[in-house]
Amino acid sequence: MRILFLGDVVGRPGRLAVTERLPELRRLWRLDAVVINGENAAGGFGITEAICDELIGAGADAITLGNHSWDQREALVFIARQPRLLRPCNYPSGTPGRGATLVDLAEGRRLLVVNALGRIFLDPLDDPFAAVDREVAQCPLPAVADAILVDMHAEATSEKQAMGYHLDGRVSLVVGTHTHVPTADARILPGGTAYLTDAGMCGAYESILGMDTREPVRRFLEKTPGGRLEVASGEGALSGFAVETDDRTGLARRVAPVRIGPALAEARPSFWEAEAADDSGRGTP
């Protein structure tokens, strides 16, 4: 299975990067599944139903969230009727929505997507490790799910790495989100699980974490009340994680970082790019 995960979509630049580039990448790379973190998609804070529909229309099979899940209050309502939108699975019992979903894909394949929120330097929710364990146990590889993706939305790199090793051999990939800066450790862990500490963001990288630089800089220089954080203008880039899994085991076979757009050193999955080039040479549309 070919899976593309895209990191936190930040505001309009991030949304445009996704809607303008993803449909072609899905065709070119023959993707079986696309999962996007959308918790900053609405002006940098939360997600609306219209934006959720926009990202799904662009090719997302599922959208994960994080600590900004409820910044747009309408999400508390529409998440109940949108099974492709996930909030972290370790929110307390009774929280609207769901923390995992089994997505039906083409050719009868099924992808389990799980969203979890770390506790270090963030709101101390329920134990994310125990919560993810419960979700994975209900849909194990490869008996129920053909692949399992876990979005670990966390501040601390150590907590993300701990989740990766905790799940190694039991899920297809663990990918970190939240810090908006892509890390250089895309790899396959010893047990066969693909891992990346942070997928980065889809947004304008001439910024501070997707936001116009002026107010964040002022906050570091002055400890006084100031203005609102505003999404940076400019062209957005895509940043994420490409993973190909083994159809027999559901574990990872090949991985690569994805970075497409301004301000970043470009990175694409060479193995899919080569196959696309071969297909083009043979006249495949």
Q: Which of 68, 153, 178, 180 is catalytic?
A: 68
Question: How many Å apart are CA 154 and CA 121, to the nearest integer?
Answer: 8
Q: Are 199 and 176 in contact (CB under 8 A)?
A: yes
Closest to 178 (Cα-Cα) out of 264, 266, 88, 260: 88
Look at the chain and count its residues.
285
Q: Cα–Cα distance between 100 and 120 in angstroms, integer?
A: 22
pLDDT tens digit sequence for 194-235: 999 999 999 999 999 999 999 999 999 998 888 899 999 999
The per-residue pLDDT for 282 is 56
Give yes or no for residue 253 having a pLDDT over 70.
Answer: yes
In the prediction, which pLDDT does 114 show? Answer: 98
Pair 111, 149: CB distance under 8 Å: yes
Q: What value does the mean pLDDT of the chain take?
A: 95
Per-residue confidence band for 284, with pLDDT thresholds at 50, 70 and 90:
very low
Give the tokens for residue 31: 């993707």
pLDDT of residue 193: 98
pLDDT tens profile 122-160: 988 999 999 999 999 999 999 999 999 999 999 999 999
pLDDT (0 to 100) of residue 285? 35
What is the pLDDT, as a whole number, of residue 281?
Answer: 65
Tell me the pLDDT band of 43, cut-offs 50, 70 and 90. very high
SS3 assignment, position 207? coil
CA distance 85 to 61: 9
d(CA 195, CA 95) in angstroms, rounded, equals: 29
State how far Cα 197 lies from the chain centre. Answer: 11
Contacts for 17 with CB less than 8 Å, ≥ 6 apart: 9, 202, 203, 235, 236, 237, 238, 261
Cα 111 off chain centre by:
14
Banded model confidence at residue 283, pLDDT cuts 50, 70, 90 = very low
166 is a catalytic site residue? no
For 181-205, write each residue's pLDDT tens digit: 999 999 999 999 999 999 999 999 9
pLDDT of residue 189: 98
Q: Which residues of 147-165 are buried (b: 16+ CB within 10 A; e: fewer)?
A: bbbbbbbbbbeebbbbbbe
Q: Is the pLDDT of residue 162 over 80?
A: yes
All domains in the chain, ordered by first residue: 2-281 (3.60.21.10)
Q: Provide the CA 201 distance to its chain's centre, in angstroms.
A: 9
